[in-house]
Structure 1
Amino acid sequence: MKQTSVTTNAPCWTELGTSDPAAARAFYTELFGWQADDTARPGDEDYTQMLVGGAPAAAITPRYAPQQPIAWTVCIAVADADATAVRIKESGGQIRKDPTDVFDFGRFSVAADPSGAVFILWQGRAFKGAGVFDEPGSLGWVELLTRDPSGALDFYPAVFGWSVAPSEHYPQWGLDGQDFGGLLTMDDRFPPQVGPHWLPYFAVADVDNTVGRAAALGGDVPMPATGVPGGRRIAVLRDPQGAAFGVYTAGAEG
């Protein structure tokens, strides 16, 4: 992610909803060197911010409903959650949870694109989002995996004003000349039960070392470390509870 601070209409945060928050905190603390802060959101002690060098990097929470999948969810900063929710519905998307205040921290809404990929709108107030980007242990890239690439390429620019760097294999999302993510078309390699989703990538100093540590900590490696055009080395991992996430070389252009 070339952005270095929270930018309106760009990814600003990511949250893990999991069946075992304590185990997840232990896994990611060992993997990324995160520090847990259970006091960051008074009144919601189940919500744990994970810090990198004292700066908020991500959050780990329990699942809020039995049907909620164990997964990371990408949050997008918006100036007005209510107005953005209207644009989402007008563009063919869904609002799964109407805009709601979270104390004085901000206002959020759970949304889905027309194919069903879920994301969160975050209208920051006291809390804007991540305090660090593209540094080891922090959010570095976001990727939409979908079986409807043409629909996604219509929907997200209409809602958020994103630019698209065209590519036959991997279009990239951007805003104000800064790319922050990509689109991967799901093909026969993806089982039918795996639905469209957003995947966060965390920057790391050494992808191969991180893959080895994740496996030693009980995680899985759906996609081993590999080099990609643009100087990046990436991998996709799964934590012991089953949540998928990516890692990539911190600071590498792509």
Structure 2
Amino acid sequence: MVPDPQAAIDFYSDLFGWAGEIGPPDTGGYAVCELKGKPVAGIMAAMNPDGTVPDPLPPAVWTTYLSTDSVEATEKAVRDAGGQVMMPGMDVMDLGRMAVLTDPQGAVFGVWEAGEFYGAGIVNEHGALIWNELSTNDTAGASEFYGRVLPMTFVPSEMEGAGGYTEFQVDGRAVGGMMSLEKAPPGTPPHWLPYFNVDDPDSITAAAERAGANVLAPPFDMVAGRMAVLADPQGAVFAVIAATEPEPPV
């Protein structure tokens, strides 16, 4: 969600090889960005639920959407568990139904109840989403909240050197992660962060910087691979990573 969707489309298309264009008025101009002809992300202008432009404009931001079988049931579970509903459930034509919520610590996320549109058509490839990560000041509270809201479980990461990192799992499969804000810069609010897979984080970081992005964390090696954290020219924060292949079982 950005003040200038066309500028964002141009930036990410150049960076990741996406294709996208401003959508029709009946979708609020929503742009579905594609890679190899399949959807990988969405870009839209900041607007209120009634279609008016907010004043002042909110900051540019990427929003993580989690799948749900029922937006209404998830909204109720969020309220019962201490979260808030920022944008109540609404139909997006026949594509699906969505809502935007916050957890008790204030991290914003969306939920999507699929109709004809199921979400990302490509993941884990260069230029596509590979991971979503929650940073919070209360990992125990967040685990309890998300476990009550959606059918997820939470287990310590088994990756060597990932002490204190928690995996979100669905049916035993890791679908996201969580870490403490303890080592983050002072004042960093709880938030979700999308990771995009790239072949070469160093060259992607250099290209993003040339295009006007800010480098929040230059490329560095960590247990899951080599990554960097960037803010696009309008301020939306995202990470890029060349993920390390897991070791084959002995």
Per-residue CA deviation, residues 2-45 of structure 1 (Å, 9 max, x unaligned), is xxxxxxxxxxxxxxx11221211111111101101434x67225
> How far 1:57 sits from its partner (Å)?
0.5
Q: How does 1:138-157 map to 2 (within 5 A)?
A: 138-157=128-147
Aligned CA RMSD, in angstroms, stands at 1.8
Q: Deviation of residue 205 (structure 1)?
A: 1.4
Q: Give the alignment partner of residue 238 of structure 1, picking from 231, 236, 248.
A: 231
Q: Which whole-Å deviations, capped at 9, do the CAs of 1:214-241 have from their partners, x for residues lacking one?
A: 11111111111112214x2111111011
Look up the SS of the partner of 1:92 in the other structure: coil
1:31 maps to what in 2? 15
Which stretch has the larger CA shift, 209-218 or 48-57? 209-218
Find runs of 4+ consecutive structure 1 residues off by over 3 angstroms: 250-254
Per the normalisation by structure 2, the TM-score is 0.88
In structure 1, what is the equivalent of residue 149 of structure 2? 159
Partners of 1:136 and 1:250 within 8 A in 2 = no
CA radius of gyration, larger in = 2
Q: Please list the CA deviations of residues 141-198 of structure 1 after superposition, one character each: whole Å capped at 9, or x if unmatched.
A: 0011111212111111221121222254211111112112211211364232x32111
TM-score, structure 1 as length reference: 0.87
| Fraction of identical pairs, as percent | 38
Q: In 2, Cα distance between the equivalents of 1:151 and 1:236?
A: 26
- Alpha-carbon separation, structure 2, partners of 1:246 and 1:45: 27
Contact 2:27-2:92 at 8 Å conserved across structures: no
The amino acid across from 1:62 in the alignment is A
The aligned residue for residue 191 of structure 1 is 186
Q: Which residue number corresponds to residue 227 of structure 1? A: 221
Q: What does 1:72-221 correspond to in 2, within 5 Å? A: 72-166=62-156, 168-187=163-182, 189-192=184-187, 194-221=188-215
Structure 1 gaps of 5+ residues are 1-16
Higher relative contact order (CA 8 A, sep 6+): 1
**1:135–1:250 Cα contact (<8 Å) kept:** no
User: Secondary structure of the equivalent of 2:195?
Assistant: strand
Hey, what's the Cα distance between the residues in 2 that align with 1:49 and 1:178?
27
Structure 2 gaps of 5+ residues are 48-53, 158-162
Paired residue for 1:6?
A: none
- How many residues get paired? 235
1:34 is paired with a residue of what secondary structure?
A: coil
Q: Quick check: which one's strand share is greater?
A: 1
| Aligned counterpart, 2:41 | 58
Equivalent position SS for 2:121: coil
Could you report, residue by residue, the CA deviation over 1:60-116 in whole angstroms, capped at 9, with x for unpaired residues?
A: 111113353211000111111111111111111111121111111111111110011
Residue in structure 1 matched with residue 2 of structure 2 by the alignment? 18
Q: CA deviation at 1:210?
A: 1.0
